[in-house]
Each structure stands twice: as structure tokens, then as C-alpha cells.
Chain A
Amino acid sequence: MGATTTKIVAVTGNQAVAEALRQLNPDVMPAYPITPSTGIMESFTKFVSDGKVDTETILVESEHSAMSACIGASAAGGRVATATSAQGLALMWEMLHIASGYRLPILMALVNRALSAPLNIHGDHSDGMGMRDCSWIQLFSENAQEAYDNTIMAYRIAEHKDVRLPIAVNMDGFIISHSIESMTFIPDAEVKKFVGDYIAIDPLLDIDHPKSIGALVLPDYYMEHKRAQHEAMLNAKKVISDVSAEFARLFGRTYDLFESYRLEDAEVVLVALNSAAGTIKDEVDRYREKGVKAGLLKPRVFRPFPYEEVGAALKNAKAVCVMDRADSYGGYGPLFMEIASAVQPHRGPVLFNKVYGLGGRDLMPLDVDQLIDETIEVAKTGKAKMIKEYITVRN
């Protein structure tokens, strides 16, 4: 274990991710400021000004150009990172597909924030869910430590020869990005060794072997490109597990495709992404003390979604409440749809869907208690009163 030399620090989520980026030392970082991710860029550019990284920044005039520059820089042949939130990600949307379509292992720190309108700068997952179909690997993080660890693992996953896809590390805006937590950093030398040197595949700057990147592809070949992307995404699942296992061996913190919290024998289960999981774990503990077999499933990897594994983990539960911090208006919440797909092959639990915390609205322990109570009731009756409902909302 190399983690013996780590020391406990008190930092914000943004500082934690900026520190990970300093240690990863990307060759190029294009970025554009947007709340609440701006802190990452500010901390990182200070590292640049102090000569602590080799990185060349590109302080672009928009997020569309940020992602375009990421694509150009990554294709040129080196490591690239950027950070954004909400509207910034939305402006990048066109280029997100091109980054993955060109199979470029770009790293994005995505500090989750609500999408406008109405304008709101606080944390929810509507930005991250909006990039669901962009063929980016999506990792979610409960706290600063997880955001840091996911960031340290990101290039190893994205750059793997069986994957070669861009990767986004998510954490909740303000709740995590701006809150100070105690956590540990891995020493620089160990990060450097873990991440390794960048191996460029067909770099544009290999002037002696000219390449054309970005051809027009007509119906005769388009589908083959897209299927290859899907297969790479499927491969990513094993790579994520392998890299996480190596990380656990070296640094002592264990990550999987999702976290199972007291899930083994759970009859009533809550499913949630990111920071809400912290509150839910406390309440699960309280209900366990009362003799209720409660548990939590917290997906870490949203794309590629681990359907088989999640399905197996939930098949013995009686009722599952899937909590979405984003909505697909007129449909179910995006996380609910994944969980329903995962559970569908099994004669599994009764599922229902709660939309919470949009635009940064707090999720309090009492709110979680109400959800657990309702899940107990659904487990008892075998029937959900309403499949989808907004909670903590005015009528």
C-alpha cells in the first residue's frame, strides 16, 4: 500500500479536483469560466502561473471553443482536460459527440448544475443527464474524495486501448464543489506512476505520417463507426473495474461500478447519485437500528451503465425508490429509466420514482425518512401509489 504517506487535508471539491489535475499534469487545458466549476480553473491556472505544471492553457472565448480546442489538442497527440457546468456543457453539446466520435480520451471535470430556464446556478444533474447519449464515460462522485479519486483514475480508463473515449467526472455543484471536507491526497510521485506516460495513437502532429481526421462518412460506413463506439463503451466497464481494483490495491480506497450500502439483504432500497447518498446512508443506518432492512445503491458509473450488475443487486429487494435529481419531462427520471431497464429481466422489486433537489433544493434527512417510510409501505403492499412524483415541492 502506497497510501501510508498521504496526509489528511481540508479542501473544497473544486480544490480537490484542481489538485488531481495538477498531479495529472495535462499537456493542454482549454477552459472557460462558469459557476460552480470556475474554482477548478482558477486554482489550476494559479498552478500554471507558478510553474507547477507543464500545461499550456487556452483561455477560450466560449465553451464551444473550449471543447473544440480540446478536440484539436487531443487529436494533435497529448493529454487534455477541461472543466465546466450546466450552460457551458450545453454549449459544448455539439462537440461532445465529436470528441467521442473521434475517440479522443479527453478528461472533463463536470460540476453538476441546473440548466436554465429558469436561470439557476445550483446543483442538480440536468447537465450530466443531458450528455447521456454523447458517448462519454460518466463517473459520479459522492464527495470531494471520490471526485479526486475518480479524476485520478480517469485517464487510465479513457486512454485504455480497448476504450479510447472521453470521460466526465461529475460532482454536485456547491454541495461538494464549494464545501470544505477532510480528505487525503495521493503523493505526486505515486499519481505519476499510476497514470503513466501518454501513448498517442495516430497523432495529427506525426508530420511524417500524415493523417486526415474528420472525414465525411456516408451511409455506407457511418453505422460501423457508431457500433465500434458502442463496443468501446461496453469494454469500458471491465477497464473501469480493473483500474479501480488496481487503485484500491495501491491506495486503499475501493470503488466499483456502483456502491452497495447495506444492500446485501435489503428489502427496501433507495437509489441515488452523488452527494445525496451521504444523507441517505445516515438514514439507512437509523432505519437499520430500528430493524428495517433498508439499503442504498449509488451508481458510480452511469455510462456505460452496469445493467446486469445492478439488476442482480436489486433483484431480491421488495421495493426500490429511484431518486432523480433531473427530469425527463413527460417521461420518468433518467436514473429511474436505467434502473427499470436493469431490473426488467428479473421478477424484481416494485419500482417508483421521486424527483428531488432540482436547482439545488436541499434534501434533508427527514425527506429521506419519508421516502424510506413510503418504500416500506410499497414493499408491504406490493404497489406504488404513484410511479413518479416530485418531492419537497409546493403544490
Chain B
Amino acid sequence: MSTPTQENPLTLKALTHKPVHLTGGHRMCSGCGAPTIVRQVLMAIDEPVVIANATGCLEVSTCLFPYTAWQVPWMHSAFENAAATASGIETMYRSLRKQGKLKKEMKFIAFGGDGGTYDIGFQALSGAMERGHQLLYICYDNGAYMNTGIQRSSATPFGADTTTQPVGSKIQGKTQRRKDLTRIMAAHNVAYAAQASPHNWKDLMTKVRKALATNGPAYMGVVSPCNRGWRSQTNDSILLSRLAVETCYWPLYEVQDGKWTINYDPKDRKKPITEWLKPQGRFKHLFAPGNEALLARFQELVDQDWESLKKLQEMSKS
């Protein structure tokens, strides 16, 4: 099975010999988290892999006719249906294998952004997970509809300035807290659910291997900095993904067989959320005089989620 072994260890030395399945020359923005995540995912896999991709930045920027950056079979069909399209591909694979018409074993991965996953693709994702397809759905979560120009999604953090919930004299960005999709996926009792971050490549790649080694559907949410939408520096993507984890805005954890495991617990070194918010222009207004309560509220939301996650880990210990 595809757990790290002596033959294919997850070491930088070994990984330098892996083929690159998403070539350079694609049109993703410099500093975008998504292609880094995709490369880490594809490098983690030793078996042949087939990709389904929701409409979004990743899709439009990697396959612009007549060019493609994908060196593995890849398919896009629409925005809200990567999980359903992948269901069809994976089912045809099972049907042809059953009939002896296909010999090779393959793995199936669907990629979607947070808009295509948390919002418009939510129903298709829920359906695919419930049906138990052998596929790993990976959401690269940059917290807004970045491809269409930074509109609010249900993954957008509280207080963030977006083009559809802009900061004004009466409203200071997003007024709601974000949807916690990873927990919702865990509530589907999928074979494997996890959160990862590209700054911790080893953790991310180990999770991809674990997900693909399970006997059933798997979901991974990966935080994906977007300097256009986050109003941050292009060279700060990995730093911001690290801070998302160290502030416990984006905890690294996994859920398997009903067991919740936090993969990184900063304990008493948990950083204040302001360290993650400060370098991002989308939160600039939160630091303006008069908005202290909003900043406090943001910290409160992060703390609530973090404490409840720790409880889930505690409760699921056998």
C-alpha cells in the first residue's frame, strides 16, 4: 500500500527524483499556493493517478487550449461538479476492471477551490462521499472566489475584505464566521479526512498517502495563500500558511476510524491571530482604531474552534 516505505521514502533527496506531473509554464500567479500544493500531492503518489478539476484558478491557468501543464490524465467539466465527475470516472474504472477490460490500478483525485467545494460544489461532494467512491477530494482553500476577483465564499474568514462584502463605513468586511468543511466531511464518516498546509510538505504528503491507502472516500482541506486576494506579498505564501497553522486558524489534524488526531499542537507557543492577520491587506481595517472588538471576536472564534478540536481529540482517544 502507499504508506511511506524504504523504497519511496518522503525525503527531499528521494523526492528530487520524482517526475513532475504539473509542469512549469502554467499561468498560475507567482506566489499562489495552489500549484505548490498540487505538486506536493502528485509527488506523494507512486501509482498512476487520474485528476478531476473543478472550474477555478487552478483549472483555467493550467489548461489553456491548446496547451496543458498536466502530465497525468486530467479532466475538468464544470464548477460545482468535480466530485460528481470524479464519481463517473472512478465508476467507469471499476466497471471496466470488473469486466476485465482494464488491467492497471489507478488512483483518483478531485481538486476544487473553496468556492467549488464549500459552496456550489457542496452537494456533489457530499453525495460522492456518501456513495463511497474510491477517491480523494482535495480543496485548496484560499478563502474566497479568487478566480472571479475575490468575492466572498462560505470559506472566507470573519472580517475579511472581499469585493462582495467590502469594507465600508457601516460594514467592516465579512460579518459571519466561516463554514468548517473538514468537520462536515468528517461527519460523513469518510474513510479519511484531514487538514494540511503546504508549509509542512511532509505532513501534507503523508496525509495524501494515508488518504489513498484507505478503503473509501477521503477529503483533505489545504490552506492555500492567494496574494491577490489576501493582499499579501508574493514571497509570503509559505510564511502565511505556516502562520495559519501556528495561530491555530488552520490546525493540522486528521480523522480516521472515528479517531481525531491533531498533528501539530503549539501548546503554550500558540501565536495570537494578529500575527496571521497583520501581513494581509484584507484584514487591514481590523487594526483601525474602533475595530478592537472585531479583532477580539476573531481571536475568540479561533480559540473556540481550537478548544473544541482538542476536545474531539480527547473524546476519541480509546
Contacts and interface: CB of A to CB of B under 8 A. Distances in A.
A54 interface: yes
B88 A73 contact: yes
B124 A64 contact: yes
Interface string A73-88: 1111110100000000
Contact of A71 (B65, B88, B96): B88
Given A54-B99, A74-B88, A61 B72 contact: no
Interface in B223-241: none
Contact of A28 (B63, B73, B85, B88): B88
A29 to B, nearest CB: 9
B94 interface: yes
A318 B230 CA distance: 71
B48 A207 contact: yes
Nearest to A101: B77
Interface string A192-215: 000000000000111100111111
B199 to A, nearest CB: 29
Interface string A47-75: 00000001110111110110011111111
Contact of A62 (B64, B66, B86, B127): B127
Given A54-B95, A212-B68, A64 B80 contact: yes
Nearest to B71: A210
Interface in B51-92: 52-53, 59-60, 63-66, 68, 70-78, 80-81, 83-92
A169 B93 CA distance: 26
A239 interface: no
Interface of A is mostly: mixed
B75 A218 contact: no
Contacts of A56: 91-92, 94-95, 98
Contacts of B77: 68, 71-72, 95, 98, 102, 214
B257 interface: no
B98 A221 contact: no
Given A27-B96, A212-B70, A218-B65, A65 B106 contact: no
B76 A72 contact: no
Contact of B87 (A60, A75, A216): A60
B104 interface: yes
Q: In the complex, which of the residues A56, A59, A68, A94 has the most CB atoms of chain B within 10 Å of its own CB atom?
A: A68
Q: Which 9 A-B pairs have the closest CB atoms?
A: A72-B88, A61-B127, A214-B76, A69-B88, A73-B88, A68-B84, A76-B92, A65-B84, A68-B81
Interface of A: 27-28, 30, 54-56, 58-62, 64-65, 68-78, 80, 94-95, 98, 102, 204-207, 210-218, 221
Given A65-B84, A98-B78, A205-B102, 18 more contacts: A30-B87, A58-B131, A60-B84, A61-B130, A65-B127, A71-B77, A72-B92, A73-B89, A74-B88, A76-B89, A78-B92, A94-B78, A204-B50, A205-B73, A210-B70, A212-B73, A214-B53, A215-B66
16 contacts: A30-B91, A54-B95, A55-B95, A62-B124, A68-B124, A69-B84, A72-B77, A72-B85, A73-B91, A78-B96, A94-B78, A205-B102, A207-B50, A211-B74, A212-B74, A214-B53
